[in-house]
Structure 1
Amino acid sequence: MSNGLVLLVEDERSIADLVRLYLTRDGFGVHVEYDGTAGLAAARRLRPVACVLDISVPGISGTEICHQLRGSGDWTPVIFLTARDDEVDRIVGFELGADDYVTKPFSPRELVARVRAVVRRSAGGPEAAERPRVAGPVTLDPGRRLVTVDGVPVELTSTEFDLLAYLMGRPGRVFTREELLSTVWGYASHAGTRTVDVHVAQVRAKLGAASTVIRTHRGVGYSCAS
Structure 2
Amino acid sequence: MVFNITHVRSDGVKDVFQMPNSLIEFYADSADAKAALERAKKSNPKKRLELEAVPLGKAFALTQGVNGMSTAVPTRLLFSSTAVADEGDAGVPKPLRDGMRSAGPFPLFFVQQLASPGAMPFFLSREDLAATWLKSGRTQEALETAEVEVLDLRILAASAIQDEVGYFKKMLFIPPRSTVQLQKELATAQQQGVEVRENMLAAKAVVDAQKYRAAIATASHVENPDTPPALMSESSPVAS
TM bucket (normalised to shorter chain) is: under 0.3
User: Larger C-alpha radius of gyration, 1 or 2?
Assistant: 2
Normalising by structure 2, report the TM-score. Answer: 0.22
The structure showing larger relative contact order (alpha-carbon pairs under 8 Å, at least 6 residues apart) is 2
Normalising by structure 1, report the TM-score. Answer: 0.23
